[in-house]
A = this chain, B = another copy of it.
């Protein structure tokens, strides 16, 4: 059941990097809603490969809607399925990975878990490419949230520890030239979420957003508001005091990241995720050949991003959007 997310706005991501298609089946969008299909495509284009700092794999990543809308273009209350055809699948690039797992990649546990069923071409179902259908679900959720006056944005906080924008991109160039890769930190903010969204213990906004965000393969940590730093603070420092701003209740700081007791407080919802450096690097690394039970080395050829963080922005926004939209539907 791992490829599904959500309780009401519930979707299942399917596909492998080199299967005929990748896509998503979404239940729970109310009937009668107009969705801007071009906005979905534009949103997806933000995570598409082809940019200066990303893999040279070129794919249109053209979204095709198969079901869920009537002839007037309104949602009909039945599941939406949207797919993206895999058109540029140079399977031969990956065949040497059959027995030698790439460090930092899903290869080794996938080999053990799936045995002969494993699809190792392009990372199979573990490919970062699967975040594209997640972004389809995300874009639809974002459009629905926008109708409610909720806006979600994200930005890169740092790359490889650099926080200056020029330094960030210089670093990406540098590691690219070195055949290496580098990680980054992304911050995502939702404004306009009404007070009280989010359900009990395991259904709070933090739980949901975290569950969604770790669906992005490279994410290794998530923190809300003050986050990990809250562990170093005093209550008198970390508590965000309330005050009346006209007839609105606000807090002076936002160490709580807009979430109290799992519920939205009316303040901006803020989280940061760590995006680990792309594990596929050209630099030679030690690994093992499982067909022989021997140590070996490999250097990963093919088309890989030196830093995945820029392309991950719409994915992170999608994680926020699907989690909040689902929670709103559940709270109604």
Contact = CB atoms under 8 A, between A and B. Distances in A.
A68 B220 contact: no
A60 interface: no
A219 B238 contact: no
A181 B69 CA distance: 31
A105 interface: yes
Interface in A60-107: 64-72, 74-81, 83, 91, 101, 103-107
A16 B114 contact: no
A110 B78 CA distance: 11
A175 interface: yes
Nearest to A14: B79
Chain multiplicity (copies) = 4
Contact of A214 (B75, B244, B262): B262
A238 B113 contact: no
A283 interface: yes
Contacts of A219: 206
Interface in A283-307: 283, 285-288, 290, 293-295
Contact of A2 (B107, B134, B202): B202
Contacts of A208: 211
A226 interface: yes
Given A75-B117, A217-B261, A236 B281 contact: yes
A192 interface: no
A312 to B, nearest CB: 11
A118 interface: yes
A277 to B, nearest CB: 4
Given A71-B119, A262-B106, A223 B274 contact: yes
